[in-house]
Each structure stands twice: as C-alpha cells, then as structure tokens.
Structure 1
Amino acid sequence: MKKFTIKIGAVSLLFLLLVLKLSCTDDQEETSVALMEQTEQEALFLAMQGFVGNWWNGSELYPDPCGWTPIQGVSCDFFDGFWYVTGINIGPVHDNSLRCTRNVEFSQYLFKLKHLRSLSFFNCFVSYHQSPISIPTQNWEKLAGSLESLEFRVNPGLIGQIPATFGSLTNLQSLVLLENGLSGELPMNLGNLLGLKRLILAGNRFSGRIPDCLGGLTQLLIFDSSRNSLSGTLPLTFGGLISLLKLDLSDNLLEGMLPEELGNLKNLTLLDLRSNKFSGGLTHSLQEMISLQELVLSNNPIGGDLMGIVWEKLQNVIVLDLSNMGLTGQIPETMAELKRLRFLGLNNNHLSGNLSPKFEGMPCLSTLYLNGNNLTGELKFSEWFYGKMERRFGAWNNPNLCYPFELISTGHVPYGLKPCQLELSISDTD
C-alpha cells in the first residue's frame, strides 16, 4: 500500500512538472510572438509624447505596449507575427484616458505607423488664444494605404484650413471635423475620397462655396456641414449623392433656389436646410424624396405657397418644419394625410384661410404650430384635441381666428385665442 502511494505521488509530480514546462513554454512563445518591432515601438512612444508630453515614456509597458499592458486609447493588431498600432484615440474619453499636454504637437513619427487605420482627437487642442495649432499639411500620403477614419472633435484650439493633402487618403471612409476652430474654404481634393461614407464638418468657421466635386461621393451616407459660413448656391451635382441618408447644411449663408436634383435622393431620411438664405419657392421634386423622415426648411426667405406639393407622397415624414419662410396661401388639407407626422411647424408665415378639422384625425400628431399667420374662421377641433395637445398647439397671433364659445366651460381652450362671437337675432336682442 505504501509503494502504491509513492508511485501515484511520483506520477502526479511528473504531471505537474510537465504542465509547468508547457505553461512556461507557451508564455515564452506568446511573449516572443507578441513583441512589437523596435521601429514601431519608437514611433508609437515618440508620437504619443508629442500629444501627452515628455513625462510619458512608456517604460511601464515593457515588453509589450499592446498585448500585456495596453495603452488606454491605443489599439493594435497582428501582422506577420508582430503587434502594430491600428488605432489612436487621444483625449478625455474615459477617466484613465491619456490627455493632451498644453504644448501639444504633431510628431513626424505619427506618420511612420504604417498600419494605422483610425486616428481620433477629442478635446485635445483646447486653447484658441494661448497655444493654437494647425493640422500638419505634409506626410498624410504616408497613411494613404491604411487610414480609414480620421476625427477631430471639439478642439477649439485647432485652427487653420483643411490640408489639401487629405485628398491623398483614398481609403478614408469617415472624416469628422466637428466643432473645431478650422476656417477657410473646403478643398477641392475632398472630391478624391470616393470611398467616403461620412463627412462631418459642422461647427467650424468654413466659408466660401461648397465644391461641386463633392457630388461625386456616391458612397456618402452622411454629410453634415452645419453651423459654418458657407455661401453660394447648393451644387446641382448633389443630385448624384444617391446613397445619402442625412444632409444637414443648416445655419450657413447658402442662397438661391432649391435644386430640382434633390428629388434624386430617394434614400434621404433627413434634409435640414434651416437658417440659410434660400429663396424661389418650394421645388416640386421634394415630393419625390419618399424616404424623408425629417424635412426642416425653417428660417429661409423661400416664399411661395404649399399647394404645389403632393404632400401625401411623403408618408414617412415625422418632422416637418416650414416656419418663418414667407409662405402664402392656404394650408393644404392633404397635409392631414401624413399619418406618421408628429411635428408640424407652419408658424410665422403669411398663411391665410380656414384650417381643416381633418388635422385632428392625424394619429401621431403631437405638436402643431400655426401662430403668427393670417388664418381666419372658427377652429373646429374637439375638447379632446386641445386636452391632448395642450401648449404644443400654437395658434396665437392670428387676429381673425377663434374657437367655439362653448369650449369656455371645459377649460380646454387654445392659448392666445378669443372665443367666436355669438350671432344674435333681432328677437334675441329684444
């Protein structure tokens, strides 16, 4: 019995040694495979120091800055048995994210990361007055074979123009320049980015015309250049953006007529052109944009009337804001056939005539603004309608519009309107 016990113990010991040996071998093999090439590691560390400061030398990441102790905001992938940097995200995205130093700079070593696919800066260049910085104009072509996403978000200290060399980034799918201090005209070279799916330039100081060549970005899904100072007319070439889902050019200085070519955008779900200088009336081609969910044209001197649009074709519209546009004529009864409509803004125009009671039957309508027009007659909506809408129904500042006298006793009366006067006969007067 004693020999048997010793024999089992020996076997167990041999098994334990074998497991430890295999474990050590696996660890050694994994360590040798996971190491980063010296040139790649130096490029990473020196590029990061330019953004976060010389205090950071990456020494705590030895021997592997990606696999064992990865840097927050840096992602890697295997190529030919070595780690290579594929993504860098700088800025206070997370509590432990690396933050930019006050004297931030773009190091030339950034462009030596030959497998870099994604580069993002959030709230990194923060001081417009003390230490502004521009985007480098050179070396972007070195990332042309790999870079797919380039983003600068909320960097008020990032000034200057968009480098024309961005046009060499032919693999780019997403270019986001959101809420920075950038200025100047949009470079024509952006038209070279034929694989671009997202182009966001909102919240900067861009000026000048929108290049016609952007209409050749047939794979573009989102184009947002709102809150700038862009001027001129909307390019007719935009009718070629057949894949576009969202187009936002609000809060600019764009002018001229809405091009009929917009009707080619059959997949568009959002068209926001508010707060520009468009004129010349509503183009009939708007009714061909059958996928539209949000149509916002407010605060433009467009003028004209609403009768030329076959509104019932826009059955997917949820938000329709046509306020402060100088519109005249009557409100079409066919607008009440938009069964998915939740918000309808027709306020601050010159609309006249009576309002159809069919608007009460719209199943999803929760906000209706008609205030600031010349509507007349009696509103023939029920007490239930006013109770549902409350202050989201606006009809004030229509001097000749009134509500039924009998609603006074219910407490559900439209704000800012007077009850209709009772017609008294001669006998009633006596």
Structure 2
Amino acid sequence: MRILYLSQRLFTHRLTGAGVHDRRVYQFLRDRHDVALMSAWGSPEEWARLLNGMSPRPATTPPAWMDVSLNRKRGVIRALIDCARGGIWTYCPDYYSDFEAAVARALAGASAAPPFDLVWADGYYGAPYLRAARGTPSILMTRDSQTRYHRSCLRVRPSMVGRLKAWRLARFERRFYREAGRVVFLTQADADAHAALDPAARTAVVDHGVDFDPQAGESPGADASILFHGAMTYAPNADAAEWFARRVLPLLAREAPSAEFVIAGDSPGPRVESLARLGRIRVTGRVDDLRPYVRRAGVVVCPLRFGSGVKTKVLEAMALGKAIVATPLCLDGIHAQKDRDLLTATAPDEFAGAVAALLRDPGRRRELGAAARRAIAAHHTWDRHFAQIEALMAGLIGEKTV
C-alpha cells in the first residue's frame, strides 16, 4: 500500500504518550508499506537522521516536496483568515503557506507515481490538510477529542479563556474532521464526545498498544514508595501531582508513615518542584528510563481529575505488573476491570485507604499485578493495535473500490 503520511511535528516527544504512539505507528506503517512523509516542521536532513534510527530499514531520501519553500508572511495572513472562519491558530503559521498546496501536488501525481492509496494525517492539526485529499481514502489519527479535553479542564479550572478555547476547538473539529474518511480515537469516550459535536462524523476506535514482555512477571515493589509519573508539561499531570501531595499524602501519615511520594517526569516546573518541601515527597525531574522507578514502587497512582485520551502511564504500569490506584477517568480506553486488574478511587480518603491497604499487603499487590498483565496481553499489545489499524485501512480502501 502506498501511503502519504502528514506529520505535524518531528517524532521527538518520546517522553509523552502521544510521542511514543506516533513513533511506533509510523515505524509500523513504514516497515509494512511504501510510506512517503511530508511535514512543514524540521529540515529533510533532521527527518532523515531521525528515521534512519527508528528501524533496520533505512529511510529513503526525503521527498522533494518536504523541502517546499514556505512563505511565512502569507502563512500568517492565511492563518488569521482561517481562524476567523472557524479554524484555530496553529503553533506554525507556515502550515498555511505552501504545505496544503504541496499535499495537493503530491496527490495529483506531480511529485510521485504511482498515486497514493491512502493519506494518513497525524494529530488534530493535520485535519485541514485533508481538504487536499478529497477523493483519496484518508485517516485522521487524532487520538483524543481536544474539545472534550478542554471542557474537562473547565470543570476543575474554569476561566473565560478556557471557555473560549473549548468553543473554538469545537468549531474546528466540526468543520475539519469531516474531511477525513475516518477520525480515529483511542477511547470510546472521545469518539462519543466527537459524535455529540457532529452526528454525521465517521469515527473509529482502536485499542492503544504498549510494550509488553510476556516472559516477565508482576512487580509488587521493593519499597514503600508511591509513584506518579508523566510529563509535567501536561496540565492534568501537574494538577494530579499537587492534588495527591496536598490532599491524599497527609491522610497516609498515620497508616503509612514511611511511605514516600515520588513524582517522576519531565519539566516539573516550580509549582511541582515546590511540593518536595512538604516532606516525604521526591521530585525527580526528567529521567531517561522510568521503568526502574515503576518496578521499585510499592504502588503506582494515577489521580488525574481531568483530561482525555488513554493514560499511557496506566498501560505501562499494568504491563510491568504493578498494583495501581487510579481515578475512573484514567480507565478510559483501557480494558481493565476495577478491583480485579486495578483499584479506583475519587475522594482523598478513598485514595489514602486504598494505597495504605496495598502497601500493607504484598500478596494483594502481586494479585493485581498479575491480573493487569493478563489484561494487557489480551487487549493492549502493539500487535493488536497494528492489526486494528491494518483492518481499518483495508476497509477504507475497500469502500472506495465498491
């Protein structure tokens, strides 16, 4: 299959769930199909270096249209016009200059032959460029609903700016997602949120994958640490770290006085770093490999109060056989049964009680860890994720030929 892959960014965000997913999916497509990559971000040389290091298969020479000459002034003007018509201001106004025209040329065969069988747009910012792909089967891998995300933020942190952003994103998604043959989400909750915006939307849901070693066992943890991990640049993560430190940890002081709360993740910022001064809290900042921290922890927590999409941190902890306590929100898109595969809690006293009980009971931690690994093996391996993507692409192409 010949695929034109439109990327909104370099695959360098390896410490975020979206970054891990993007890299794995692109590598899978590239290893199985004839994939041409287009992006207005990064130079062809940067992409070549990055792609050559992703898999044994060497990257082909970046296609000529990746090196389009971008007119920034024209791009800014077009971005402002599009914003007024219901679009959103992107991080890169260059997108609006010549990139869409380059996509159209590629699909018209001016730069490539034979023609493309499918266009894949990575991330919600790629939706407008599917206008140039009308007539060609297309997939928008948006992962989650940005409208749902920002509306959930408003429930915890209401603001006029937040309401305006949620309104504009709803307009953007209604307007541009219709350009895709399928809008792909990783949770049913996000797909349902978009269907509420646009009942005519053509959506699909696939199960997120995660690295999984079937030979490894559960990891009940060797100490009394409580781990929360994730990139702290993501607002729900920073909020969750502070909420747990200030609302839950004090309740654990009597039942688990030796327990240490470890916050591991990139870019904690002054607000999260200051939590270490509360006592029994360690903020690691960026670490190259989170797995040792996950394995050592007695309990992994995910106390997110708002957000959208799949919580990759939960999948990773389940794959390593950890005992987990999470808010119900963190189970979106995850095939896990509460009390069998992990524990759920919402209020501070519920969290404190569940964590304290697990710290006292290594047997229960092993039981939950083993069940979590079984759930991952059944539903969340990369092979399963890629098989669902293959079936989705084949179905789209089949629709065109009917």
Instruction: Give the TM-score range, shorter chain.
Output: under 0.3
Give the structure with higher Rg (CA): 1
| Bigger share in helix | 2
| Bigger share in strand | 1
Larger RCO (alpha carbons 8 Å, 6+ apart): 2
